[in-house]
Homo-oligomer: A and B are copies of this chain.
Amino acid sequence: MHELKISPKVKDALEKRKPIVALESTVIAHGLPYPHNIETAKALEQICTENSVVPATIGVLKGEIIVGMTEEEISHMLEDDPLKIGTREIPYVVALKKSAATTVSATMRIAKMAGIDVFATGGIGGVHVGDWDVSQDITEMSKTDMIVVSAGCKSILDVKKTIEFMETFQILVLGYRTDKFPIFYEGLSSYKLDHVVEKPEEIAKIYLAKTELGIEGTILVANPIPEEHAISESEVEVYIKQALKECEEKGITGKQVTPYLLSRVAQLSNYKTLRANIELLKNNVRLACQIAKEITTLKLQG
């Protein structure tokens, strides 16, 4: 039997109905360079702990799905050169006993299996520019009951189409103190959001109404990066153009383009994008903690 390995702390929190925030492992394995990845993973867990919330970092170690990875388990995962997986690949790595970092879709699915309601990430996957390259995240969010706190999506995606897909597939997007859809470390896009909330409590109430009514799917909380950490679109554009030019020169294509872009843009910006990425992650975890606590309170009040 394939069961989740739930850490004692997370198990205890589930039993005692304490607030929990799920965290993904892809940001550690593939999103940030060493040693920033390990440091950020620790920092995000610490934010949870300081807020009396139990963090649950999710990943797969040699086929075992872990909810609440220890530092040691994260290190082991990284040593295994883990795959980067979405929901559809979970059975593949479980059955073949591979190690894997979980992206938004896989993390959400596993969090849901464990009984966790809130998940904090950096940005969601969406609709890529081009003919049809649409992330599993969209499909997962259309099905799985969860609150996902993110800074929207990266501007290298087709942001407008990503918002449209979320409408079609019934993913409720709530702007947190903003009526513009956020675009990761670049702050806010020009795309209008129809549903704005001001308080974590509102998000918790909307989520509980959703689950009580049996309406499936995700509430995406669109939480912009704090203004002081945002980088202007025009600045990022210069770096992206330069990096794209290099891709062409070096013959980098397909799935290699995005990682190359991200790492080169970090270098070219003198690591301003990296720092912004870390700041928005922290900002999302802080909000996720507040929401998780509101849910706990509301559930207790019954």
Q: Is the CB of A92 within 8 A of B165?
A: no
Q: Is the CB of A142 within 8 A of B139?
A: yes
* Residues of chain A in range 126-170 having any CB-CB distance to chain B below 8 Å: 127, 131-136, 138-140, 142, 160-161, 164-165, 167-170
A216 to chain B, nearest CB (A): 8
- Known contacts: A96-B206, A209-B2, A214-B113. The answer to whether A91 contacts B132 by CB under 8 A is no
- Known contacts: A113-B214, A206-B96. The answer to whether A136 contacts B167 by CB under 8 A is yes
- Known contacts: A131-B161, A132-B161, A136-B167. The answer to whether A212 contacts B90 by CB under 8 A is no
- Known contacts: A170-B87, A215-B90. The answer to whether A205 contacts B96 by CB under 8 A is yes
A225 to chain B, nearest CB (A): 24
Q: Is the CB of B133 within 8 A of A164?
A: yes
Give the number of times this chain occurs in the complex, counting copies: 3
* Residues of chain A in range 195-210 having any CB-CB distance to chain B below 8 Å: 195, 202, 205-210
Closest B residue to A112 using CB positions: B214
A233 to chain B, nearest CB (A): 21
Check if A300 is an interface residue, CB within 8 A of chain B: no
Check if A177 is an interface residue, CB within 8 A of chain B: no
Q: Is the CB of A91 within 8 A of B215?
A: yes
Check if A244 is an interface residue, CB within 8 A of chain B: no
* Residues of chain A in range 87-120 having any CB-CB distance to chain B below 8 Å: 87-92, 94-96, 105, 109, 113
Contacts of A219 in B (CB 8 A): 91
Check if A171 is an interface residue, CB within 8 A of chain B: yes
Q: Is the CB of A213 within 8 A of B168?
A: no
- Name A's interface SS: helix
Residue from the list B92, B140, B210 in contact with A91, Cβ < 8 A: B210
Q: Is the CB of A207 within 8 A of B138?
A: no
Q: Is the CB of A209 within 8 A of B168?
A: no
Check if A224 is an interface residue, CB within 8 A of chain B: no
Check if A19 is an interface residue, CB within 8 A of chain B: no
Contacts of A140 in B (CB 8 A): 170
Contacts of A210 in B (CB 8 A): 90-91
A244 to chain B, nearest CB (A): 21
Q: How far is the CA of A214 from the CA of B169 in the complex (A)?
A: 21
Q: How far is the CA of A219 from the CA of B172 in the complex (A)?
A: 26
Q: How far is the CA of A90 from the CA of B202 in the complex (A)?
A: 14
Q: How far is the CA of A138 from the CA of B164 in the complex (A)?
A: 13
Check if A86 is an interface residue, CB within 8 A of chain B: yes
Beyond A88-B170, A94-B206, 8 additional contacts (C-beta under 8 Å) are A90-B210, A91-B210, A91-B213, A91-B219, A92-B174, A92-B195, A132-B161, A136-B170
Ranked 3 nearest A-B pairs via Cβ: A91-B210, A95-B205, A88-B170
A-B contact pairs, 6 of them (CB 8 A): A87-B215, A91-B210, A94-B209, A95-B209, A105-B170, A139-B142
